Amino acid sequence: MARTADRLADVTGLGGAMFGFVFLALATDLPELTLTPAAILSGSPDIAIGGLLGSAAAQLALLAVADIAFGRGRLYRHIPVLPIVGQSALMLAVLAVPLLAMTGTPTLGSVSVATFALPVAYLVVLAAIRHIDAPGPDDDAGDMLDPSTGRSDPTKEDLGVEVGTLWRRFVLYALVLASAGVALEWSTERIGSAIGLAETAAGALLAGVVTSLPELVTAIAAIRAGALDLATGDIIGSSALDVALLAYADAFYTDGTVFDLVGDAEVVLVGMAIALTTLLLIGLSRRALGEPKRVAVESYVMLVVYGAGALVLITADG
């Protein structure tokens, strides 16, 4: 999927950051799209909410893992700053909505106004950042990377592949991911019950982490291919989309609105995601200011924040 997405980013002219943020993120989020209604319809809405918010936080932590694996801060040197800053702004925008909804929002029938606000916030900010161009990475990025995008130079074979064939291949891979969601919901509910985890914690720490693995695998494959903007865009895009999918969850929940279910555990998850996004922005700003190139303090702190948040989550959710 990562190799196909890298080629599509070239032949469509969208670039790796935007293609990863929109299309690859949507594809790797398909397990959440099937798990969410399965959990709600089976009477476990907290697993659905925890899975979405937990996946958003877990994916940002996986970005830190990718950075450390790539070479202690080198990821920050090669990804385009401006598109990633814009995407992080979108992430913070959608995270604000469930926090505001906690104070109580009007409803239209059984649907919260926040259900309409989430996709609107997502689309408005996405429209605002879609034309942001990236400055080139540092000139010591290596021969593997294109100096204008931070991605590998497309070969003639890549550019010669027929676009329709690439899209069909991409959709096929996406459908394979989508098929896993229902089984994950069934497993999460039973494992969480067996080990004594409350539903929100189980959704966040079991389903949320597992549904983040497609992003980790595609990110590692993209990084190894030199498509660093594609990898970063996929992870941040998937995280933002997970939060926006709370509106999707609300469409299936008929006993009120899912935002009425937001409690201490969900606030912990949103706080984790905000902290992790902030640390990512700090790492990008340090690169822009010419900080030492091999220092990845932010990535290690991101992992500490995620681990501490997981511990607090278990406590907050009983």
Q: Residue for token digits 């992430």?
A: 91
Range with the poorest average pLDDT among 50-54, 176-180, 308-312: 176-180
User: What pLDDT is stored for residue 281 in this prediction?
Assistant: 87
- The fraction of the chain above a pLDDT of 90, given in percent, is 7
User: What pLDDT is stored for residue 292 in this prediction?
Assistant: 53
**Could you tell me the domains of the chain?**
2-316 (1.20.1420.30)
User: What pLDDT is stored for residue 3 in this prediction?
Assistant: 76
Q: Please give the residue that has the higher pLDDT: either 42 or 70.
A: 42
User: What pLDDT is stored for residue 112 in this prediction?
Assistant: 77
User: What pLDDT is stored for residue 134 in this prediction?
Assistant: 43
Adjacent-strand bridge partners of 107: 112
- Mean pLDDT of all residues in the chain? 77
Token readout for 217 is 């695998």
- For the segment 123-165, what is each residue's pLDDT rounded down to a tens digit? 888 887 776 654 444 433 333 344 444 444 545 454 454 677 7
Q: Please give the residue that has the higher pLDDT: either 98 or 228.
A: 98
Q: What is the 3-state secondary structure (H, E, C) of the chain?
A: CHHHHHHHHHHHCCCHHHHHHHHHHHHHCHHHHHHHHHHHHCCCHHHHHHHHHHHHHHHHHHHHHHHHHHHCCHHHHHCCHHHHHHHHHHHHHHHHHHHHHCCCCCEECCEEHHHHHHHHHHHHHHHHHCCCCCCCCCCCCCCCCCCCCCCCCCCHHHHHCCHHHHHHHHHHHHHHHHCCHHHHHHHHHHHHHHHCCCHHHHHHHHHHHHCCHHHHHHHHHHHHCCCHHHHHHHHHHHHHHHHHHHHHHHHHCCCCCHHHHCCHHHHHHHHHHHHHHHHHHHHHHHHHCCCCCCCCHHHHHHHHHHHHHHHHHHHHCC
Residue 284: which pLDDT band, with cuts at 50, 70 and 90? confident
Beta carbons of 249 and 51 less than 8 angstroms apart: no
> Mean pLDDT across the stretch 70-84?
70
For residue 300, pLDDT over 50 is answered with yes
Residue 110: which pLDDT band, with cuts at 50, 70 and 90? low
User: What pLDDT is stored for residue 85 in this prediction?
Assistant: 83
- The fraction of the chain above a pLDDT of 70, given in percent, is 80
